[in-house]
Amino acid sequence: MFQDRDKLYQAYRTLLSMALGWALVLVINKYFELKVTVFLCAFFSFMTALCIYLIDLNKKNTVTYLVIGGSIPILALLFWVRHFNPVLWAEEYGNWFVSYDGTKELYQARFSNFTIFIIGFVGIILFFLLTRTQLLKILLAIAVTVGLVILSVNKINIGKFVIGICIFYIISILVECYGIIYTRKAGKQEKKESILYLAPICLLLAILAVSMPSKEEPIQWKAVRHMYENIQEQIEEWKTELGYYFDNHGEEFFISLTGYSEDSGNLRNESSNLVKDEKVAMKFTGSTRNRAVYLIGSVSDIYTGDSWEKSRDDFLAEEQEYKLDYMELSYALARQELDDLENNSYVEHVTLKLQYNYIKTKTFFYPLKTSWFNLLSDERFPSAGPSNIIFDEPKGRGTSYEDIFYEMNLQGDAFIQMLRDADSFSYEEAPSIKLDSYRWLEDNVLIHDNVNGFAQRWDYYELLGDRAKLIKDKYSALPEELPARVKKLAEKITAGYDTDYDKLKAIEAYLQKYRYSFTPANPPEGQDYVDYFLFESKSGYCTSFATAMAVLGRCIGIPMRYVEGFVAKYEFQDKEDNMYPIKNSQAHAWAEAYIEGVGWIPFEATANFSGVRYTTWVDPSKASEQLGEAYPGHYEGNIQGGYVPFNGVPVDQELETKDTMNEIIAGIIVTIGTILIMLMLFLTYYNVLRYRYRKAYDRADTNQRLYLMFLKVLDLLKKEGYHLEEQETILMLAHRVKDRFHYERIIFPDVANIFMRYRYAQETITEEELKRVVIYKEGLSLKRREEQPGFKLWLEEFVFLMRMRNV
């Protein structure tokens, strides 16, 4: 089959397509953390390319289409035998595809492998079609080159395998282009299969290029990168501004299908399809131990049956709700026994820095139990309403502030017991705080607060008592049209539980059994949103779960509120500013319950986020071993939970230098070893070809030797621009060459006449005639050696010997 040069060139095109497809899946695999091995990616690419090659090779054969058509019912039969539902599987795959974030919890090997297979399959077909024409191959090579530069500018590491494949493709196209230009200048027709003999050399150059020692950032591209970043940032700012002014229907944050929005709190969506937006809305850093931080953006209290709304009534005049909530938790802690406070971690002091990026909103984002914040940018302080904190005017890029809050140990036994004990608490008969516990808290937990001591207010119990009454009235209301079966379900779920906390955990656990979906169905017009979610669709995303949690909690008389915001995770730290991105895709919704005497407590009904919300804290005595990064300006001191913020970990320069040197030495050794091995292989192969050629020449008779010499003469003439065309005879070529080259009075027409006597008259050539041909060949070879460098001559001989190996 491979004797046919057209088929061989077709195989070369397939090889290029396979290489590019392999590079594509490797990039996708690395960037999206699909965790598929390099060899499995190569196997998928190879099998796809092989199938495409065979189909294209036999595209005129009817059997090919019979095999393809016959595979469909066979596949359907296999599905039926294995009880495999492709529709359900596709839906599961779609949900996984849009929700997978590279974490171990969401990873599924079957979906990752399928993603790589599909991307490779489509990519290789596309590349195979693009490589049909030379112009498209050149444009593709340019695109690959530009892509490598862009990835380098953005410091995206794609691995040496991908770089080597790209170099191989670029060099191959350059060689093809050079061959076309060279033959056109000589007025000859290019043989497209000539690249086949140089493909191994292109591969060798690519291997040598990627085997050289390299740093993590070999090229800085400072000027290009700076210009690119400036343009990109300006475009994103314009998009953010335009998005706000064209889509603005309110003044505060609301979650939406593309991350965040300032639209209304409508739970229905027309598209029924969640689209992830990876734009970085904000950045943050803080002194927590890499635990996710939930940032409150929007708090709603009125459930209408298909949306959440905010009441605009004055809550408590001249009081700030977020501070009252913090105070209530502080009083709850001060009522605990001193031994319990000293031996258990109830809360942890956290300092957070937030910086707005590509976002435009009046909303001030803050964590629950915030005690104090400080604006770092030149902005007016926001105003705190009933639950939402907002700026006077929309804020965007450049707005930054510092926030101090107290992270609650929601998984701690002591904290949970405090929540259960709160069932018997009432502000009408509230016990006083314990003085020794209060002093210990001020000395060890609240020492860094920039607020007045919470015990300095004489009316705090009365104030919090009034607030509790307002909360119970405001956050317990339900629409009259709410179906009775929703209330019956809430009573059924919580039957047998005594405390409000345990009832809420039962509801939370019940909802976590529902299916998380990015393509939920909309309820029919007029049907209650929660009723449809609980009894019919039984699938949805975070807004569905949070709404159901809040409504079911209210059904059993517990005040609940619906919250939307962001889940800030300590992932993908920016090396330039040491901050972590908060993308629009990290927008989330959850429910919070009011427990009198403690305050607002969050609950996570969305199963996918349960592991994010609820984390087990380490022993305080070991906390010093797990310090996280902070930023300049953090407070210092003895903080509850054993954590002291700091500005970074010193690096041992001597060990770092030693490790770097070892890496360089190892890289040099590997590079030298690779070069030597490849050179030895090529030299061995070259010597084998040369030996076989000489052996064949020595064993040949005079006529066979003449044939071998004449082929060499034609090859040398081709290098000089005289190529034997397909429709041209030897005699016609002799008329073109004439006496252009003559050695010892021997010209090419003389050599051609000798060859034609052997070829067509079948005469036996004498030794004298053979000597004349050898003299002419040696003359052309000497001229070539005088005009061309040695490496090029060796390369030309190598190509010639490869072409002669089957002669």
For β-strands 515-516 and 539-540, DSSP reports them as: parallel
* Whole-number Å distance between alpha carbons of 471 and 465: 10
Least confident range of 96-100, 110-114, 195-199, 658-662: 658-662
Structure-token pair, residue 719 = 């290098």
pLDDT attached to residue 758: 84
Are the C-beta atoms of residues 624 and 429 closer than 8 Å to each other? no
Share above pLDDT 90 across residues of the chain, in percent, rounded to a whole number: 23
Mean pLDDT over residues 541-559, rounded? 95
Band the pLDDT of 667: cuts 50, 70, 90. Answer: low
Distance from C-alpha of 783 to C-alpha of 719, rounded to nearest angstrom: 11
pLDDT recorded at residue 213: 52
C-alpha radius of gyration, the chain, whole number: 38
pLDDT of 419 above 90 = yes
Which stretch, 432-436, 665-669, 758-762, has highest mean pLDDT?
432-436
Query: What three-state secondary structure class fits 638?
Result: coil
> Quick check: 673 pLDDT over 90?
no
pLDDT of residue 233: 58
Given a cut of 60, whether residue 251 has pLDDT beyond it is: no
What are the structural domain ranges in the chain? 5-223, 254-626, 700-804
**Could you tell me the maximum CA-CA distance found in the chain, to the nearest angstrom?**
128
SS3 at position 489: helix
- 689 versus 668: the higher-pLDDT residue is 689
Reported as a pLDDT band with limits 50, 70 and 90, residue 93 is confident
Instruction: Write down the pLDDT at residue 41.
Output: 86
Closest CA to 174 of 197, 152, 193, 198: 198
Rounded CA-CA distance 63/66 in Å is 5
Q: What is the pLDDT of residue 62?
A: 67
Question: Which has the closest alpha carbon to 580: 273, 338, 259, 284?
Answer: 284
Q: So what's the pLDDT on residue 744?
A: 86
Cα gap 505→488, rounded to integer Å: 17
Structure confidence at residue 263 (pLDDT)? 44
Task: Flag whether pLDDT at 193 surpasses 80.
Answer: no
pLDDT band, very low/low/confident/very high, at 645 (cuts 50, 70, 90):
very low
Q: Is the pLDDT of residue 321 over 90?
A: no
- How far is C-alpha 718 from the geometric centre of its chain's CA atoms? 51
Of 18-27, 369-378, 387-396, 463-472, highest mean pLDDT: 463-472
Confidence tier at 605 by pLDDT (50, 70, 90): very high
Has residue 78 got a pLDDT over 80?
no
Report the distance separating Cα 165 and Cα 675, nearest Å: 18
3-state DSSP call for residue 805? coil
Nearest Cα neighbor of 236 from 200, 273, 268, 279 is 279
The residue among 444, 457, 274 whose CA lies nearest residue 348 is 444
Looking at residue 536, what DSSP letter applies?
I
Q: Which residues contact 266 (CB under 8 A, 6 or more apart)?
A: 306, 307
Please give the single-letter amino acid code of residue 54: L
For position 241, what pLDDT does the model report?
A: 54
282-311 pLDDT, tens digit each = 999 987 667 899 999 999 999 999 899 988
**Percent of the chain scored above 70 by pLDDT?**
75
Q: Taking 80 as the threshold, does the pLDDT of residue 441 lie above it? A: yes
- Please state the rounded mean pLDDT for residues 385-414: 87
The pLDDT, as a whole number, for residue 32 is 82
User: Position of tokens 């400072």?
Assistant: 222
Residue 184's pLDDT is 64
Residue 669 pLDDT grade (very low, low, confident, very high; cuts 50, 70, 90): low
Mean pLDDT value across residues 683-711 = 85
Mean pLDDT of the chain: 78
pLDDT tier at 367 (50, 70, 90 boundaries)? Answer: very high
Distance of CA 630 to the CA centre of its chain: 26
**Gap between the Cα atoms of 171 and 152, Å rounded:** 19
* Confidence grade of residue 81 (pLDDT, cut at 50, 70, 90): confident
Query: H-helix or E-strand containing 286?
Result: strand 280-286
Q: Is the pLDDT of residue 334 over 50?
A: yes
Contact 348, 409 (CB under 8 A): yes
Q: Answer yes or no: is pLDDT of 546 > 70.
A: yes
Backbone angles phi and psi of 795, in degrees to 5: -65, -40
Measure the CA–CA gap between 86 and 75, rounded to whole angstroms: 11
pLDDT over threshold 90, residue 757: no
Spatial separation of the C-alpha atoms in residues 686 and 682, rounded to whole Å:
6
Which residue has better confidence, 39 or 485? Answer: 485
CB pairs under 8 A, 24+ apart, for 465-473? Answer: 465/427, 465/428, 465/430, 466/316, 467/315, 467/316, 467/319, 467/324, 468/427, 468/594, 468/596, 470/315, 470/316, 471/559, 471/594, 472/559, 472/594
- Interval 584-613 mean pLDDT: 93
Cβ contacts of 288 within 8 Å, gap of 6 or more: 348, 350, 352, 407, 570, 628
Quick one: tokens of 576? 């330039």
113: helix, strand or coil: helix
